[in-house]
Amino acid sequence: MGHGGRDRTAAAGWSGRIDVRSGLGADRRALALLFAGSDLGGSHGPGLAGANPIHVVLGALKIDRSLS
């Protein structure tokens, strides 16, 4: 995940956000589902985030990856 103030990948209230690999067309892919974020914390205080890899989320929900 990002580093808070430098690259606002996650913040408090962003649970449920899909982290997507940047790119164009087929190169854009879901990587993870954010489940927690904070505005403060971490080694430099910009915030912390937690996410589950998308393949784990899809497997738990029994969603066929070929459809995603």
- The pTM for the full model equals 0.64
What number is the average pLDDT over the span 54-58? 92
Q: Structure tokens of 15?
A: 């649970």
Rounded-to-integer distance, Cα 48 and Cα 46, Å: 7
Segment 36-47 mean pLDDT: 72
Say if residue 57's pLDDT is above 90: yes
CA 31 – CA 51 distance, rounded (Å): 9
Tens digits of residue pLDDT in 13-38: 778 888 888 777 767 788 899 888 77
The answer, yes or no, to whether residue 5 has pLDDT greater than 50, is no
CA 45 distance to own-chain centroid = 19
